[in-house]
Structure 1
């Protein structure tokens, strides 16, 4: 079983200077290794319909830079630039691993076949984390201090203890707008991975309908108000952005303004994440199976409601809900969202509505709030409730083709 705990660091001024220097060196190494791969790709690709074998010769293909070839070349980097000798070897190798991952996702895609955009070079101040892939021994964690390679003991705020039996596999130092943080990846091989054997049924399933009027409405008619963290902080952010635009580029006052803006955005992100965690835990305490719509969140984030959709953070909430459900032994079911607001949750008949219609009234006598009716339909689809088949039988009692 793997867990990730994040703690705030209290490094000294000398340690902060070391971290900043290492981040800059890793950023340069990242850009250099990415440029090597781009040069290989540009020099070896050739459009067949635009290159004549008779009129021009074809140069021999160059070897593709790989993770292992670039890792072996780190010895030459350290020989030419002595500053890289101060960085642990595994930290530099992690930089090449990141280049390998982002480049392959662009050309080949991930395990599901989804490709990412063209990798970009990291500008100054755009590289924020240092990884220590080597396992940290228990004796390196003493009290409120953690010992890191070539750094020594760094003070951290141990706000929650590390569970017994878990070993620290990796550590990652991250520079955020407000402070330095360390993320510890913990593993315990004695704890088996959680296997969910829950079967969705009417008595153990809870349907949720996410929206912008309310963050979500459950099939039990519970409503969670949408906090609108970004909307509430928008006025302050506009003022800070105006101050930033007036500062002279390269000045110290501009750097201070950049930090103020970054801290404000970080606060909004932390508030949203805290709300998502609390909401997910509250839902998992109520039911063993949570059903939700399989929404195209990326598409909705490009519509006219983009700001409100991004402020709600449905994607992050569903990701947190799945992670917490896996550790709690619960099941998350995504259903087809087509027609959940238009169909009646009692008889299955279609009742057309516009976005302005917030109440569902059907000829069968059903009368629900629009979102509550959608949540009931989501629950029925997750458990395979035969509402639609009954409605078809009622409309065609002879059993013929309709």
Structure 2
């Protein structure tokens, strides 16, 4: 009887401990809640690895990117080298003109910058870009051979300069045939095989969210086994050539004020890819348009769209006494409007700033994505990157 009592007491104690643990977990797993427009998830305390923060540095902004990015970035992605239609690196644009992205790298003008980044613990990524539809078509006509051509040239460059990741940025802007999509997947698979065989590094690919809803060249589901990271370029929902003004990188509002938004894109991506492969792109720029009307979604005067960097907007707001700053709450994006005294028309600028970026990284954290990517270093003003420090902790 005593033995039975002891066993029963022990079992009761163990049962109580198990219930306590389960209740504790249930508390931690309560639905997310929102405070001050921030997406908060109790699961964030279980994050065991550091989020990726990729900063893209285009060759034309090397002299402008003077910030010490080490508190913000895990990866510095140099943009980069151009991939030709045969898969080889384009070193000369023509007989007299060197390709500047290649030239800066090959002549050692980036050595100091790359060395400093490595010394501060940043991983180096080399972006290989092609954005010409006809050239891309030729590139994938013979996918395996052209992938090997790329590997033959890019792997020695990666090893020479210390790049540990190859970022494929192949931006086709039209819908593609099933054959073309298959050929591109074969190209990616061969690049990945070669990188692994030569122990050259990881493979990242950049895609527009449009590939999630239309049959563009990149079949995300098909390439998923061959890539380590997919950067979704969740911006340019409104762009330089848009007919009406609107948010450039709307966080929300899809289906109401916009056709599509960042949250919808990421949620769609999560049905295809594991979250540890998903990186959400965030722009450090917006666009300025000239319009007749002084409200959002006003018609744009053709040919007036220009890039408006966060840095430029910060400077403008210091002196613009007639600027009216407004907010699209669903998009989490600000815009300003001012009248052109010379023409009587209006200028509208939709632009990123610190609070908008904070909402985006909070969403990325809530979704437990692999990380975020910033386009582009050199566009930032004095405080927009501050939320990134909190995000990394």
Q: Which TM-score applies when normalising by structure 1?
A: 0.22
TM-score scaled by structure 2? 0.23
Structure with bigger helix share is: 1
Higher normalized strand content (fraction of residues): 2
